[in-house]
Chain A
């Protein structure tokens, strides 16, 4: 009964969100995000149909294929947030790219080490474990991006902030739920897993009711040489300060 209520609520909110997106022309500004919402709405209906009439033949494969497609589209949402938010900030964009590249290499090295330790790892891993691993990587990437945005005080409009907060909270909750959710049966974590998306939809609807512009940015600032000078001065002064610290602690 509760699963049905969550399912119908999600469908209703998705339709409402899409309608608001079309009416407010937000769909043009955030095409990947609305594409994701449309995909999730379609996937819910498809899964429901398959569950009712073709459960034994197709449900397992349809569920996991759509789940992983959703995950890929989710990564594209993160890319859209990065692209829109950092359009006027090439310095921060560069920093974010380097951090994400570092995380990607780290994840790849970890996966490589795991495969080297256990050659049957891929065949032994269940789809649920695979999803948890990929969602964890996604959660770490989103966390790193949020820290970069906060450190460089990147101004966010209400719409983009809503997309980031909603999707980030959804991923965070989903990662936690995936740690505890049972393979079969319905307990608290099962409902929390389904409910996390409902919460994200509510947040999105509140933030994406109508279009709000992102505050103006200082585009094309001629800063390249000045950055070098400022960074050199910052490093020199902070290194002096650290030298004082060592002296003081030593004395």
Chain B
């Protein structure tokens, strides 16, 4: 029991310190963009052709044939940077979808606990995939992640559809609110 108490106390302290430091308990607005935050520069997704070029080995093999070490290093650095930006865009989109969902859910008296838990579980899974992708790119570079990246892109498209349906719901709500 002592150990459980200690863990509970430490977790609560850390949680509250994080809440205080990151402003989780301030009056946030939904369309607010935090400067320097994850959402910045994440408003536009990458086209699929661009995505396939990030992760394809063709360009890399071409550069390697040139036999210039400096260009190789520069190429790898740039590819890694672009791939990481793409992963950040993906995770920002997942977050936006979740925000749109919580915005709709928090004011609804019909909210279902089990549904919310399931949605939260899916959100955590998707964020974990993004985290794993980012770590893999950091460690090994984007060139060996082709298959996973294509999957993630399809995921992104799904989420874009989801966001559209969310926005339609929110729009319908505001229209019906305006009519009453």
Contact = CB atoms under 8 A, between A and B. Distances in A.
Interface of A: 88-92, 94-95, 98, 129, 132-133, 135-136, 139-140, 142-143, 146-147, 149-157, 161, 164-165, 168-169, 171-176, 178-179, 214-215, 217-218, 221-231, 233-235, 237-242, 244-245, 247-248, 251
Interface of B: 1-2, 4-6, 8-13, 15-17, 19-20, 24-28, 30, 97, 99, 101-113, 115-116, 118-120, 122-123, 125-126, 129, 147-148, 150-151, 154-155, 158-159, 161-162, 165-166, 169, 172-173, 176-177, 180
A139 B8 contact: yes
Contacts of B111: 90-92, 94-95, 227
Given A89-B106, A244-B154, A234 B101 contact: yes
A150 B15 CA distance: 10
Contacts of A147: 15
A149 B25 CA distance: 7
Nearest to B172: A226
B15 A231 contact: no
Q: Which label, helix, strand, loop or mixed, suits the secondary structure of the A interface?
A: helix
Of the candidates B11, B24, B28, the one having the most CB atoms from chain A within 10 angstroms of its own CB is B24
28 contacts: A88-B107, A92-B105, A136-B1, A136-B9, A146-B25, A149-B25, A154-B106, A155-B26, A156-B27, A157-B27, A161-B25, A165-B16, A165-B25, A175-B6, A175-B8, A176-B5, A176-B6, A222-B176, A223-B107, A223-B108, A227-B105, A231-B115, A233-B165, A234-B119, A235-B122, A241-B126, A244-B151, A245-B151
Contact of A248 (B5, B16, B148, B169): B148
A231 B112 CA distance: 9
Of the candidates A140, A224, A241, the one having the most CB atoms from chain B within 10 angstroms of its own CB is A241
A118 B147 CA distance: 56
A251 B24 CA distance: 40
Given A92-B105, A239-B122, 17 more contacts: A91-B105, A91-B106, A94-B111, A95-B113, A136-B9, A152-B102, A152-B105, A172-B13, A176-B5, A221-B107, A222-B173, A223-B110, A226-B169, A230-B169, A242-B125, A244-B155, A248-B150
Top 9 A-B pairs ranked by shortest CB distance?
A: A175-B9, A248-B151, A238-B122, A227-B108, A215-B27, A91-B111, A172-B12, A155-B27, A237-B162
